[in-house]
Amino acid sequence: MPLLKKGSKAYSIFYLKCPCCHKGETFETSSWSLVKPVEMLQRCPKCNLNYYPEPGYYYGAMFISYIWTGWFCLLFIAFFHWFLGWSQMASFGLLITFLALNFIYIFRISRLMWLNINVKYDPEATLKFGKNAYEPLKTHSP
């Protein structure tokens, strides 16, 4: 049984699935592959949701990332230093290692958090694909 159920925002965020249909991928490659780490797909391959609704759309994801990683770092250090009694050097060393290894995944889930704030889950989104539910992709310059 999966840890997170399809239909919840957490499922879309942590599995990096389209926030509308929860089926399509948002990134082409794995979060730890180092190939195309930050290139997001233009549209959902399953429901055609536009992942770039306007220029600079992911500017907001930067603030989301800042807020949650700030709290994460604080709680991480508090847990290892105060609760487990590790030294400051060891706690920060582990934190920095953890953040460096998961940098791309953190970047990606921050984008998915931002998308999930703005897009609602629609279980029938894939059925509407091709029935003019969403505008077809117009000319897009990179």
Interface residue list for Zn ion (CB under 5 A): 18, 20-21, 24, 44, 46-47, 49
Question: Residue 54 corresponds to which amino acid?
Answer: E
Least distance from C-beta 45 to Zn ion, angstroms?
Answer: 8
Kindly tell me which of 9 and 91 has the beta carbon lying closer to Zn ion. 9
DSSP sequence for 74-108: HHHHIIIIIIS---HHHHHHHHHHHHHHTHHHHHH
- Residue 38 Cβ vs Zn ion, minimum distance, rounded to whole Å: 20
Name the minimum Å distance from CB 44 to Zn ion: 3
Q: What's the burial of 5, exposed, middle or buried (CB within 10 Å: 0-12/13-18/19+)?
A: exposed
Residue among 57 and 76 whose Cβ is closer to Zn ion = 57
3-state class percentages of the chain: helix first, strand second, coil last, to nearest 5: 45, 5, 50
Residue closer to Zn ion by CB (options 11, 80) is 11
Based on C-alpha coordinates, what's the Rg of the chain?
Answer: 18
- Residue 22 beta carbon to Zn ion: minimum distance, rounded to whole angstroms: 7
| Nearer Cβ to Zn ion (13/18) | 18
